[in-house]
């Protein structure tokens, strides 16, 4: 598992504490493995966007089904777009 995959799983665990990160298959769609409602999933994506300094447009959400999808997506956005400044306050 990559460092980025571990970070994504840690974020998932913060949003959904019942999820055991070790039991998640990174290649399988999350909705097939976990009991996440749409609000939890939106909160998860928002947290990932904030933590990694990227935007996740609504048009991209349907393609972000697995941890592997998220790793590829975040990695490509981190390289191709400038990081947003850290929030202070």
- Residue reference for tokens 């939106």: 42
- Pairwise CA distance, residues 13 & 44, whole Å: 9
In this structure, the chain runs to a length of 89
Please write the tens of the pLDDT for every residue from 17-54.
999 999 999 999 998 999 888 899 999 999 999 999 99
Q: pTM for this structure?
A: 0.84
The predicted structure's pLDDT at residue 35:
87
- Pairwise CA distance, residues 68 & 35, whole Å: 19
- Pairwise CA distance, residues 36 & 84, whole Å: 28
Question: Any residues with CB less than 8 A from the CB of 46 and at least 6 apart, and which?
Answer: 56
The predicted structure's pLDDT at residue 89:
47
């Amino acid at each position: 598992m990559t460092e980025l995959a571990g970070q994504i799983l840690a974020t998932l665990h913060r949003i959904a504490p019942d999820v055991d990160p070790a039991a998640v298959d990174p290649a399988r769609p999350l909705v097939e493995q976990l009991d996440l409602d749409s609000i939890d999933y939106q909160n998860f994506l928002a947290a990932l966007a904030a933590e990694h300094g990227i935007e996740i447009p609504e048009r991209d959400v349907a393609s972000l089904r697995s941890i592997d999808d998220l790793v590829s997506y975040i990695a490509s956005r981190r390289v191709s777009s400038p990081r947003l400044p850290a929030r202070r306050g």
